[in-house]
Chain A
Amino acid sequence: MPMVRELRINGRSLAVTAEDDRTLLGVLRDELGLTGAKYGCGEGRCGACTVLIDGEPARSCVTRLSAVGDREITTIEGLEQDGKLHPLQEAFLETGAMQCGYCTCGMIMSGVGLLRQNPRPSREEIIEAMNGNVCRCGTYTRIMAAVDLAARAIKEGRK
């Protein structure tokens, strides 16, 4: 049975009517119009649907609504603050880390999650954290460069 619940998304509280077993991805995209998270595989193997749940990257395609509870969800739409892009979004533009861009939102969310927990990741740590994200266009080296650039920018910004 569909039920009404409140979801905490991008710092706001949003009411949705949906069944318990709906995927978070389906709810974000079809009920809330937040289409930055993409469908790529539906089995947690491509990362296109990545969002942050309490700051941790999660595959929204395999996350049931019932498992979300009142935890804080951040999607790509919530990264921009007062018209200012997140340093990793800037870094993606700077390094040209995309072709078709379909993987980009998921990549950025995975990268933001990584940088939160490890502000200066090594190349190996980036690979480790991001290996579940597929870029079929093959822009991996640029994405690694973008994560690295953002890490440095964040450090600079904090000084």
Chain B
Amino acid sequence: MSHVHNQADEVWTEIEPERYELYEPRGGRVAFDRRDFLRVLGGGLLIAYLLDHTESEAQQPGRRQGFRGQAGPQDIGAWLHIAEDGTISVYTGKAEVGQNIRTSLTQVVAEELGVEAGMVRMVMADTQLTPFDMGTFGSRTTPDMSRRLRRTAAAAREVLIELAAERWKTSHEKLIVAESAVVNPETGARLEYGKLTQGQKLTKTVSDSTPIREPRKWTIAGQSLAKVNGRDFVTGRHRYASDMSLPGMLHARLLRAPSFGAALVSVELAAARAMPDVVVVQEGDFVGVAAASEPRAARALAAIKAEWKPGPAIASRTLFEDLRRPANDRGFAGGERDGRSAGNKGKSLREQPDSGATRLEQTYTGAYIAHAPLEPRAAVASWEGGKLTVWTGTQRPFGVRSELAAALRVPEADIRVIVPDTGSGYGGKHTGEAAVEAARLARAAGKPVKLVWTREEEFTWAYYRPAGVIDIKSSASREGLLTAWDCQNYNSGGSGLRSPYSAAQQATAFHPSRSPLRQGSYRALASTANHFARESHMDELAHALGIDPLQFRLRNLKDDRLRAVLEAAATAFGWGKPADAGRGVGLACGTEKGGYVATCAEVAVDRENGRVAVVRTTTAFECGAVVNPDHLKNQVEGAVVMGLGGALFEAIEYENGRIQNPRFSRYRVPRFRDTPQLDVVLVDRPDLPAAGAGEAPIIAIAPAVGNAIFAAVGVRLRSLPMVPQRLKI
């Protein structure tokens, strides 16, 4: 995992696929039988998108392909149905968690089919109705699913045109689509989709080679369409998983360990069992209760006495020393066991810079932080005749189905997971803890059970963004050219570790550690930490050399797309103008998941009380062709605000294996008052494929703010969060 390379011959091996995207290979394959589908959906036209080999592999690493015969099970990426009444339904395994993909996917389908967005119904993230999908993460919806749906819809359009051509005994080329109909512009003849599909039972499969409309010609995609089901959200009508209710449903509470790694020694359940209408379940360390109302479940839980053997007395005080220990030590607690790169410090660079060059060596750290999605984990589970249905908020419905199958020893075919549009995830909802817990209790109770994690449970028993330690050694010539770059990352991960800057000698390595806490995906993964380290370090070098930080970056940057956003942000921000007293400006840039971002920030530091306020930020972002400018802007703004939390004050504190701040009253998240003036510059590149945008815009804000603080008061902060309380000047 360590690479020393010479940029002259640019031989990069992938640093490593991100290890903290939690997933495991799926168990079963969706059998696609067209007759079955048309039986369920009724007649009309059904188009299925077949994954090609590489797409299938990406969905399901390391597994062989199924056969591609007409009758057998195939890997389907998405399907689209046009009913005999003209209703258009699209089926995708992706989940809506606030990134507004229900809207953007609707737009691209409407675009290809020449219909209004309101005519398209998106069926999402339902393991019974939608094709298998690995999960909604890694900013893959726009580059993958959106592309697939465009092709699927384009194929549907072609079939409809064929049907009309046959009826009119004319040639296909003469016809166009408009307003849900095929039209012959010469004769003015018009046939609606519903009429064309009436009495039909047509199926067709398509692949990635189907031609689609060019983004430059978009009229529905590329526009700022409002959230398609927005009205349901402003009226409270939308039902999240936590809002679901079923007849006879019970409410659950779980017995939780007092600290991480504690083991249940004994438990006294009699008092809870004696309570009327209370279901108590114990299976090993799993102890839960269900009752007709939440307070009753809480009372039953309070009546349970348990004795625990404490786990290791871990504390955040020693976090960064803990992380320097390699993963293959005994007692490894989180992440993945992997000693491949352990102890390979010898691989780091032994640079021999010219005399007179500037050399710098610094360490940067980042604490664990929590996603704290405003909707905590929640699930409603219901069994009927040995079959289980679970409604839950997750980014991985099919993964949760596998978790349920394994935990409950039920075949996946008997489990249905449905994900209502969810109260956000940010990478924090890849797992199905609440689903499994609710399903266990529901099975024992013989009634539907709902479980909503408390905020404290969400803070404690979900997983965190990995903490990390990053060592950087560098050198640069007097002219401001990097000559050597060595970056060693302990635990936070490989995303964004590779430097976009040219340097004659480079070495980067990621060293997995024994993570004291459970860790996993988080918006942009390790890219935030790696960019914080790199972009802070670049700023330090620029100051040491006496070169403007913007100029210093540009001098060492070859990537045109990155240069473009950097220059766009600097221009819009007014980089180079002197800041007022007590204020400072900083910038940072980077690339992640196909998105290019640069952020400039202005901060005000109150020397009296050490308060830091971020006054304004300008973020330039480019992710290829823009599908929905306003939603893209919304994502960029949201990422910057969320990034401010991790930059300035968010940190999980733990002591004796217990979280010390598992509540919003103790864990500070960004609020109205923390929000700077947010300027966003979208760089549209219709000539490039659209990339996802939920993650990349978060990576540049922390270093931009850190660099601005340095510019304001001359204090260099190398640890995230930078200002948990106040700045010591």
**Which among B423, B639, B641, B642 has the highest number of chain A CB atoms within 10 Å?**
B423
- Answer whether residue A53 sits at the interface, using C-beta atoms and an 8 A cutoff: no
- Answer whether residue B606 sits at the interface, using C-beta atoms and an 8 A cutoff: no
What is the predominant secondary structure among interface residues of chain A facing chain B? loop
Over the window 228-268 of chain B, the binary record of Cβ atoms lying under 8 Å from chain A Cβ atoms (1 yes, 0 no) is 00110111111110110100000100000000000000000
List B contacts of A46 (CB < 8 A): 374, 664
List B contacts of A43 (CB < 8 A): 455, 663-665
Is B374's CB under 8 angstroms from A40's CB? Answer: yes
Q: Which of B673-687 contact A (CB under 8 A)?
A: 673, 675, 677-678
- A64 vs B675: C-alpha distance when bound (angstroms): 33
Over the window 625-640 of chain B, the binary record of Cβ atoms lying under 8 Å from chain A Cβ atoms (1 yes, 0 no) is 0000011001101111
List A contacts of B375 (CB < 8 A): 38, 40, 100, 102
Contact (A102, B240) CB under 8 Å given A19-B295, A48-B374 = yes
B452 — nearest CB in chain A belongs to which residue? A39
Is A138's CB under 8 angstroms from B672's CB? Answer: no
List A contacts of B638 (CB < 8 A): 99, 137-139
Is B294's CB under 8 angstroms from A30's CB? Answer: yes
- A6 vs B376: C-alpha distance when bound (angstroms): 31
Is A138's CB under 8 angstroms from B639's CB? Answer: yes
Q: How many residues of B contact A (CB 8 A)?
A: 58
The minimal Cβ–Cβ distance linking A83 to chain B, given in whole angstroms, is 11
Is B234's CB under 8 angstroms from A104's CB? Answer: yes
- Answer whether residue A60 sits at the interface, using C-beta atoms and an 8 A cutoff: no
A124 — nearest CB in chain B belongs to which residue? B673
- Answer whether residue B372 sits at the interface, using C-beta atoms and an 8 A cutoff: yes
Contact (A137, B663) CB under 8 Å given A36-B236, A96-B634 = no
- Answer whether residue B670 sits at the interface, using C-beta atoms and an 8 A cutoff: yes
- A21 vs B296: C-alpha distance when bound (angstroms): 12
- A75 vs B236: C-alpha distance when bound (angstroms): 9
The minimal Cβ–Cβ distance linking B225 to chain A, given in whole angstroms, is 10
- Answer whether residue B275 sits at the interface, using C-beta atoms and an 8 A cutoff: no
- CB contact between B234 and one of A35, A48, A85, A142 (< 8 Å): that residue: A85
- Answer whether residue A54 sits at the interface, using C-beta atoms and an 8 A cutoff: no
The stretch of B92-100, B505-513, B563-571 in contact with A is B92-100
The minimal Cβ–Cβ distance linking B694 to chain A, given in whole angstroms, is 9
- Answer whether residue B671 sits at the interface, using C-beta atoms and an 8 A cutoff: yes
- A45 vs B665: C-alpha distance when bound (angstroms): 6
Is A100's CB under 8 angstroms from B98's CB? Answer: yes
A37 — nearest CB in chain B belongs to which residue? B236
- A105 vs B243: C-alpha distance when bound (angstroms): 13
Residues of A within 8 A of B (CB): 19, 21-22, 26, 29-30, 33-43, 45-46, 48, 75-77, 79-80, 85, 89, 92-93, 96, 98-105, 108, 126-127, 130-144
Top 4 nearest A-B pairs (CB, nearest first) are A36-B236, A100-B98, A138-B641, A102-B423
Q: A89-B234, A99-B424, A137-B98 are in contact. List 15 more A-B contacts (CB 8 A).
A: A21-B295, A36-B236, A39-B376, A43-B455, A93-B226, A96-B630, A99-B638, A100-B98, A102-B240, A105-B233, A105-B236, A130-B672, A133-B672, A136-B373, A142-B634
